[in-house]
């Protein structure tokens, strides 16, 4: 029996005889198998996932999440595969990969949802479930979720049996452009963000921007803050393009393009400095004060999303850049206005300055008791290890307060 394969490319039919047809990431093929006539079957061939050609970790934009993941886990088909996820992502996203061979509900490790679960207790429970599930050093851990599962799961993988392979499937915008890429893993400890951790690169990162449709608006714009940060590090053209993007009513195709640009920027920096000895510190723009805001919020039982804290922190730190390095005050004021519109404001008072300052003294960029910041001379002109005195930091905190009234 002979089967004819009718392949339509951009509505123009051609005819070929072959057993299998693969299309590239931009081709639009439909395959019609037409013998006998009454048993016509139509198949849509899935495209090949798009590599972003990153250096430190293989990052791919998914075309079809289950098919693409199945390809990536093929080398582990004879090993035990575990999935780490939180309650929300287990409900919304795990069903998309649950039928892939090698993945099972029995080896799905489910944590609570939220950064407050990125702690030693949850970490120990992950280790316990790996042991109980019979994981050896050839096992694979898939981290499915936002920044918390990617950070926690990466650290669990890095430390279990001195290191097992892991794949990140980030499901939030923040995780797609930040937490899942770059090899930083860790947990919070004693009220401090990411106080304990290690560097270990994921085997692969599979980014599916269609998963972002499951996000509420606060989590979407939280991730967008990291993209704004990357744009400040790159150039004015990307910064303008990013700030002009309507994140409150997003065009998902354009957002996907911006996500790819953002990941490439982070990869460039991480490749140049994988262990944060030098230029990788650039990625901390907005984070020294932003982390202090996060810690203050947790202390007062009103946690804030990470991206919000980074956005607020960037306003204060770019004001520091203005008084220390001459960064444009006009650009600082534009960002202050933008963050007020998109992220609202962070509430604290002058009586909280000492607590916020003390929290900054725990930042990992500090040396010899000096608080160091990543600042900018201009957009794309980065100044790492910029020491700021306490009175300068207080002035920046005052500036932020004055623009929230």
pLDDT tens digits along 168-178:
999 999 999 98
pLDDT category of residue 32 using cuts at 50, 70 and 90: very low
pLDDT of residue 392: 97
pLDDT tens digits for 52-72? 888 878 999 999 999 999 999
Query: What DSSP designation does 119 have?
Result: S
Among 358, 347, 331, 352, smallest CA distance to 400 is for 347
pLDDT of residue 368: 64
Higher pLDDT, 241 or 213: 241
- Is the pLDDT confidence value at 110 over 70? yes
pLDDT category of residue 179 using cuts at 50, 70 and 90: confident
Can you tell me the distance from the alpha carbon of 182 to that of 184, in angstroms, rounded to the nearest whole number? 6
pLDDT tens digits for 259-270? 999 999 999 999
pLDDT of residue 64: 94
Residues with Cβ within 8 Å of residue 149, at least 6 apart in sequence? 84, 85, 86, 89, 111, 143
pLDDT of residue 194: 86
| φ/ψ of residue 23, rounded to 5 | -110, 155
pLDDT of residue 196: 95
Q: How far is CA 69 from CA 62, 66, 77, 212, 252, in A?
A: 9, 5, 12, 18, 22
Contact 282, 230 (CB under 8 A): no
pLDDT tens digits for 368-384? 678 999 999 999 999 99
| φ/ψ of residue 183, rounded to 5 | 85, 5
Contact 150, 157 (CB under 8 A): no
pLDDT tens digits for 39-54? 434 334 445 788 888 8
Lowest mean pLDDT among 8-22, 116-130, 327-341: 8-22
pLDDT tens digits for 314-370? 999 999 999 999 999 999 999 999 999 999 999 999 999 999 999 999 887 777 678
288 membership: H or E segment, kind and range: helix 287-299
Lowest mean pLDDT among 35-49, 107-121, 161-175, 203-217: 35-49
Summarize the confidence of residues 116-129 as an average pLDDT. 96
Q: What global pTM score does this model have?
A: 0.81
Q: How far is CA 314 from CA 22, 302, 330, 400, in A?
A: 46, 20, 14, 10
pLDDT category of residue 405 using cuts at 50, 70 and 90: low
* Mean pLDDT of the residues in the chain: 87
Q: How far is CA 339 from CA 232, 349, 404, in A?
A: 14, 19, 10
Summarize the confidence of residues 114-128 as an average pLDDT. 95
- Is the pLDDT confidence value at 10 over 60? no
Higher pLDDT, 126 or 33: 126
Higher pLDDT, 184 or 42: 184
Can you tell me the distance from the alpha carbon of 393 to that of 346, in angstroms, rounded to the nearest whole number? 16
Can you tell me the distance from the alpha carbon of 169 to that of 142, in angstroms, rounded to the nearest whole number? 7
- Is the pLDDT confidence value at 191 over 90? no
Percent of the chain past pLDDT 70, that is, above it, reads 88
pLDDT of residue 56: 78
Encoded tokens for 224: 């967008």
Report CA torsion sign: 199, 204, 209, 211: negative
pLDDT tens digits for 276-288? 889 999 999 999 9
Domains and CATH numbers, the chain: 50-215 (3.40.50.1970), 217-404 (1.20.1090.10)
Helix, strand or coil, per DSSP, at residue 167: strand
Query: 10 Å Cβ neighbour count for 16?
Result: 9
- Give the angle 211-223-171 at the CA atoms, nearest 5°: 25
Among 266, 404, 392, smallest CA distance to 321 is for 392
Can you tell me the distance from the alpha carbon of 207 to that of 34, in angstroms, rounded to the nearest whole number? 36
Summarize the confidence of residues 153-163 as an average pLDDT. 97
pLDDT of residue 6: 36
Encoded tokens for 76: 């582990």
């Amino acid at each position: 029996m002979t089967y004819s394969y009718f392949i339509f490319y951009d509505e123009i039919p051609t005819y070929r005889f072959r057993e299998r047809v693969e299309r590239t990431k931009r081709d639009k093929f439909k395959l019609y198998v037409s013998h006998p006539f009454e048993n016509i079957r139509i198949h849509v061939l899935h495209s090949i996932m798009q590599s972003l050609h990153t250096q430190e970790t293989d990052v791919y934009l998914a075309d079809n999440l289950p098919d693409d993941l199945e390809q990536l886990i093929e080398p582990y088909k004879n090993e035990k595969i575990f999935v780490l996820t939180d309650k929300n992502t287990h409900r919304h996203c795990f069903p998309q990969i649950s039928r892939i061979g090698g993945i099972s509900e029995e080896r799905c490790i489910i944590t609570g949802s939220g950064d407050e679960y990125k702690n030693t207790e949850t970490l120990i429970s992950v280790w316990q479930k790996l042991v109980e599930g019979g994981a050896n050093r050839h096992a694979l851990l898939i981290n499915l979720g936002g920044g918390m599962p990617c950070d926690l799961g990466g650290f669990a993988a890095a430390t279990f049996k001195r290191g097992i392979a892991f794949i990140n499937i980030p499901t939030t915008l923040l995780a797609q452009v930040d937490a899942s890429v770059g090899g930083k893993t860790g947990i919070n400890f004693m009220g401090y963000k990411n106080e304990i951790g290690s560097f270990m690169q994921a085997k692969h990162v599979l980014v599916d921007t269609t998963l972002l449709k499951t996000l509420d608006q606060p989590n979407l714009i939280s991730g967008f803050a990291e993209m704004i940060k990357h744009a400040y590090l790159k150039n004015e053209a990307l910064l303008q393009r990013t700030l002009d993007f309507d994140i409150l009513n997003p065009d998902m195709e354009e957002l996907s393009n911006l996500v790819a640009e953002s990941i490439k920027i982070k990869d460039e920096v991480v490749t140049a400095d994988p262990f944060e000895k030098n230029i990788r510190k650039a990625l901390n723009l907005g984070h020294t004060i932003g982390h202090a805001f996060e810690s203050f919020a947790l202390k007062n039982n009103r946690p804030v999303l990470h991206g919000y804290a980074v956005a607020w922190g960037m306003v204060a730190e770019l004001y520091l850049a203005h008084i220390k390095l001459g960064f444009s005050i006009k650009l600082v004021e534009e960002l202050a206005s933008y963050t007020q519109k998109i992220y609202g404001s962070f509430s604290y008072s002058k009586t909280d300055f000492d607590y916020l300052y003390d929290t900054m003294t725990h930042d990992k960029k500090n040396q010899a008791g000096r608080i160091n910041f990543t600042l900018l001379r201009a957009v794309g002109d980065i100044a790492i290890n910029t020491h700021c005195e306490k009175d300068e930091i207080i002035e920046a905190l005052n500036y932020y307060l004055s623009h929230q009234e």
